[in-house]
């Protein structure tokens, strides 16, 4: 999908420009324009994610002790509670009796943050994180 480009003029202090050049090179952007577009896209995504009712797609990850008593059953029960929001699940077994679950999710930001907190608060879960993106998955079913 090709988007029309718009030319804008931006005035910034020399120190900020030097930082932009470091970022452009460090992240491998081919030029300042693409670096600025990437930065703005990230900022807009973060702004959208700060609104509770914005529907976004996200990746929810959590690491847990897979041998903890009843934890796997509780995780499965929660996955069923959030059935409408969970698109797919990936399970990876790690070292030292740890497992990583990766959930592709979509829904209102407040609900997705609540999912992260719910999974993250389970006894035996060591870490939970949510990364949100404004790009949405297409509807799975037409009604």
What CATH number should be reported for the domain holding residue 72? 3.30.70.1150
Query: Is residue 111, in this structure, part of any structural domain at all?
Result: yes
Judge if 107 and 61 occupy the same domain: yes
Query: Is residue 81, in this structure, part of any structural domain at all?
Result: yes
Judge if 88 and 115 occupy the same domain: yes
Q: Parallel, antiparallel, or unpaired: how do β-strands 125-133 and 86-93 relate?
A: unpaired
Judge if 24 and 67 occupy the same domain: no
CB of 58 within 8 A of CB of 50? no
> What is the model's pLDDT at position 137?
83
Q: Parallel, antiparallel, or unpaired: how do β-strands 98-108 and 125-133 relate?
A: unpaired
Judge if 45 and 63 occupy the same domain: no
> What is the model's pLDDT at position 90?
98
Tell me the per-residue pLDDT of 39-61, one tens digit each, with 9 for 90 and over. 999 899 889 888 888 899 999 99
Domain range spanning residue 41? 14-49
The residue assigned the tokens 């030029």 is 31
Query: Is residue 80, in this structure, part of any structural domain at all?
Result: yes
């Amino acid at each position: 999908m090709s988007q029309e480009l718009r030319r804008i003029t931006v005035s910034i202090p020399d120190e900020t420009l030097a930082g932009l050049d470091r970022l452009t090179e460090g992240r491998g952007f081919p030029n300042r324009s693409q670096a600025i577009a990437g930065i703005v896209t990230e900022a807009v995504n973060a702004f959208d994610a700060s609104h509770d009712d914005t529907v976004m797609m996200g990746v929810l990850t959590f690491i847990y002790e897979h041998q903890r008593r009843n934890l796997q059953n509780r995780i499965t029960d929660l996955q069923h509670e959030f059935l409408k929001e969970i698109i797919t699940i990936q399970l990876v077994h790690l070292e030292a009796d740890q497992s990583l679950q990766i959930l592709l999710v979509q829904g209102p930001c407040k609900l997705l943050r609540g999912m992260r907190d719910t999974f993250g608060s389970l006894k035996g879960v060591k870490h939970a994180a949510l990364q949100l993106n404004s790009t949405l998955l297409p509807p799975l079913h037409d009604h």
